[in-house]
Structure 1
């Protein structure tokens, strides 16, 4: 594989994305355990779900930015300069950072919906997307770690 920067592979410092992923996973675990507890009020559940959504937002943002940064540093900065999110995900899939471009586009749409989160239906959709995002984000981070070695 050709690497940018004169053929030298660049490793990224990925501790921030690993911390974000761990935080999202903790938030999901808390809401899952609280939903099974009859002593937990619906208001408490909704508040915890809001925390899951916030963790999703942050983790999703880090994921696509790390995809872009890895490609800029290790393939070519021109490839991802000014591209759409779909194109970024396509290039990421070509470089085996992710598998499913369409699924990542669903996460992108869910992230964009968070600006309209005052609607309960949209909040529930984004919450569900947050739950399904976790394994995809974990897989991406594993692949990123493998590429960093």
Structure 2
């Protein structure tokens, strides 16, 4: 059973890795129109979703039981897998907001937050789990 959990987090990590690299690649380019903003936000939503799920799977291998994204983030912070727990919680909140709303001003602010705050925490997670794989 533990071997299956170990395989699961590594497979999920591969999906996270692909999505993270796309987000990183396109976040570094000049974003000049609504379609590009929407694309960055969609990459972010997907990458964040995979990030919390890979954290959940990794925590389960380590013996923790978590069910929700919020629980997962809190436990990962306590286990020192992630840093900046408050930024992770903000990232979760913004991900939830983008799924249910679209507003151009919000989209412009979110793209900046993704580039300046959320991409670095996702990079940290990627680097840390890459060493564990």
TM range (shorter): 0.7 to 0.9
Following the alignment from structure 2 to structure 1, what is the Cα–Cα distance between the partners of residues 127 and 72? 19
How far the C-alpha of 1:137 sits from its partner, in A, is 0.4
Following the alignment from structure 1 to structure 2, what is the Cα–Cα distance between the partners of residues 60 and 66? 10
Alignment counterpart, residue 6 of structure 2, candidates 3, 10, 23: 10
Q: Give 5+ residue unaligned stretches, structure 1.
A: 36-43
Alignment counterpart, residue 89 of structure 1, candidates 58, 67, 73: 73
Computing the radius of gyration over CA atoms, which structure comes out larger, 1 or 2? 1
Q: Aligned-pair RMSD on alpha carbons?
A: 2.2
Following the alignment from structure 1 to structure 2, what is the Cα–Cα distance between the partners of residues 146 and 75? 19
Give the TM-score of the pair, scaled to structure 2: 0.83
Alignment counterpart, residue 111 of structure 2, candidates 109, 115, 127: 127
Moved beyond 2 Å, runs of 4+: 84-87, 115-118
Give the TM-score of the pair, scaled to structure 1: 0.75
Length, aligned pairs only: 128
Following the alignment from structure 2 to structure 1, what is the Cα–Cα distance between the partners of residues 16 and 87? 19
